[in-house]
Structure 1
Amino acid sequence: MTDKNNKIPFDEDNYTHNINRNNERKLDRRGFMKTLVGAAGVFAVSSLPWGAVAAKELIGLGDKKYPKQKIVDVKSISIGDAVDFHFPGEHDSAILIRLSEEKYVAYQNACTHLRCPVFWQKEEGDLLCPCHHGKFDVETGAPTAGPPRRPLPEIYVKVENGTVYAVGVKRYEA
C-alpha cells in the first residue's frame, strides 16, 4: 500500500529535478563573457574623448606661455639664501635660490619621488627632501641621493631692473 504523502513528485530518472527548466539561469558562462567583453568595449570607447583632450593638452605644453611673475627684489635676497613662491599657479609651490651675484635657480618645490616639500640647506649646498632623505643638486636639480630618480622641474627666471621674475617651466622628456 502506497501512501499519497510518500509519492515522489517527479520522475526518478530525472537528475535535474531541482531546476525548473523553463526558468534556468538566464546568463551562462558564455553569455557572461560576452557581456564582460561588451562592457569593456563600451568603457574603452567612452574614454577616447578624454584621452584626446589629455593628448591635446600635453602637446601644447611645450609651447605654453606663462605670465611673467615677480618673485623678489634682488636687494632683498642675499647670496646663498632662498625664497619660497608659487608658480605657475597659486597651488604650485616653488623655491628660488641665489647662488652668486648673477646666478639664480628656481625649482618646483615638490620631490619627484612622493611630492614631499623640498628644503634648501645652505650649509650643505643641497636641496633636501626630508621624507625619504632625497637630495638634489642645486645647480641642476638632478637627484644625488635617496629614492628620487627624476630631477626637480626647473623654473626659468629672469632678472630685470633689480627684480627676479619667474617666466616659464622647463618640460622634461620621459
Structure 2
Amino acid sequence: MIEDNKDQKNRKPAVPYDEDNYTHNIRKDNERKLDRRSFMKMMVGAAGVFAVSTLPWGAIAAKHLAAGDKRTYPKNKITALSDIPVGEAVEFAYPGEHDSALLVRLEEGTFKAYQNACTHLKCPVFWSKEEGELVCPCHHGLFDVHTGKPVAGPPKRPLPEIELAVERGTVYATGVKRYEA
C-alpha cells in the first residue's frame, strides 16, 4: 500500500484530451461568435445609425437658425402697475405654464423681465433688492438686472429676456428676445 501511494505522488496528471496544449478546453467549431473585427464593424454601424438619427434634429435647427426666429408668443398679463412697487419683483410663468420668469420694476415706468432659470445649471434666479442684482444661490451667480448678463459666478450666457408691454395700467409679456451671442 505504501508503494501505491508513492506511485500516485510521482505520477503526472493525465490530460483528458489528445492535445497537450492550453487550448484543449476550447471547442473549435464555436470558438468565437464575435471576434474583434466583427465587434468593430458592429460599433461603426451603431455609430452610423446614431449619426443618421440626429439628422432630422439638425435639419430643424438649421432651418430655425437660417430663417430667423419667427415664433409667435402669446400676450399674457403679468400684473397691474399698482401691485408692483418700484424696486420689487413678481414671478410669473412665460411663455409656457411651466416656464418660470421674473419681472422687476426698476424705476417708475422701467421694467425688466427674464426667465429665471440660471444659464449655468437651471437653478432658480431671485431678485435681491438690497444688492440690485439677480442672484443664483446654487453657485453664487450674479446677473445684471439691466442687461441680464452674468457679472459673477459660473454662468457665461445672459438670462433670456422677456419682451414687455404696458397697456392701461397692466404689464404684459409679449415675447422672448432671441439670444445674441
Q: Report the TM-score range of the alignment, normalised by the length of the smaller protein.
A: 0.7 to 0.9
AA in 1 matched with 2:81: V
Aligned pair 1:159/2:166, yes or no? yes
- Secondary structure in 1 matching 2:44: helix
Which residue, out of 39, 43, 46, partners 1:36? 43
User: What 5-or-longer segments of structure 2 have no aligned partner?
Assistant: 1-13
Q: What TM-score comes out, normalization by structure 1 length?
A: 0.83
Equivalenced residues, count? 168
Report the CA distance shift for 1:57/1:91 in structure 2 as closer, same or farther (over 3 A).
farther
- Secondary structure in 2 matching 1:78: coil
Q: What TM-score comes out, normalization by structure 2 length?
A: 0.81
AA in 2 matched with 1:36: M
**Which position in structure 1 is the counterpart of 2:18?**
10
- Secondary structure in 2 matching 1:149: coil
User: What 5-or-longer segments of structure 1 have no aligned partner?
Assistant: 1-5
**Which position in structure 2 is the counterpart of 1:3?**
none
Aligned pair 1:106/2:113, yes or no? yes
- Secondary structure in 1 matching 2:156: coil
- Secondary structure in 2 matching 1:98: strand
CA–CA distance in structure 1, aligned partners of residues 18 and 33 of structure 2: 24
CA–CA distance in structure 2, aligned partners of residues 18 and 124 of structure 1: 76
Q: Deviations over 1:3-23 (max 9, x none)?
A: xxx7974266x7754444333
AA in 2 matched with 1:172: Y
Which residue, out of 113, 122, 134, partners 1:115? 122
Report the CA distance shift for 1:74/1:25 in structure 2 as closer, same or farther (over 3 A).
same
Query: C-alpha displacement at 1:59, in angstroms?
Result: 5.7
- Secondary structure in 1 matching 2:109: coil
Q: Deviations over 1:9-63 (max 9, x none)?
A: 4266x77544443333133222221222122222322332344345455667711
Alignment of 1:78-89 (within 5 A): 78-89=85-96
CA RMSD of aligned residues (A): 2.4
CA–CA distance in structure 2, aligned partners of residues 127 and 82 of structure 1: 10
Report the CA distance shift for 1:21/1:146 in structure 2 as closer, same or farther (over 3 A).
closer
Aligned pair 1:71/2:78, yes or no? yes
User: Contact conserved, 2:17 with 2:24, CA < 8 A, in 1?
Assistant: no
CA–CA distance in structure 1, aligned partners of residues 139 and 19 of structure 2: 73
4+ residue segments displaced more than 6 Å: none
**Which position in structure 2 is the counterpart of 1:23?**
30
From the CA coordinates, give the structure whose radius of gyration is larger: 2
